[in-house]
Chain A
Amino acid sequence: MVEKIIFNKKIYTKQAIENSIEAYSQLADFCVSNDKNYFIVSIDKIDKGVKNVIRDEFCNFVLAELRKA
């Protein structure tokens, strides 16, 4: 099942999302698409061990990356 997370472009940067995808690339397959106001991240083939938390943890990671930038 594909999980979708919608990040507001006014808040989240593409760089932060890309950095997070790089960090999480071992745990699932990620795909980013662009809407007018949102970045849509699709997560597929999620590792079984992290299936329940990957969505929330990924959001937190992007937020942390945002702070770094």
Chain B
Amino acid sequence: MGAIIPILMQLFETVPSMVKAGLDVADLVSGAVKTTKQIGTSVSPTDEEFKALAALAKEYDDDFDAAVAARLA
């Protein structure tokens, strides 16, 4: 379970270049979800892992909010 954060980080770094290449976004989302679900089924996550995921999720929440603010300004 502890491996999920680096794997997610690698995934997140890969996705933008895939989008720029014009790949199908539905496939990307589906692949990302399957990856996280596959990893997430093994062991119950610890409190530390929840904290690490919370930090990562907040970072991406902030990125989304900033992009939306710029797009709809």
Q: Do A and B come from one complex?
A: no
Chain B interface residues toward A at CB < 8 A = none
Give chain A's interface residues, CB within 8 Å of chain B.
none
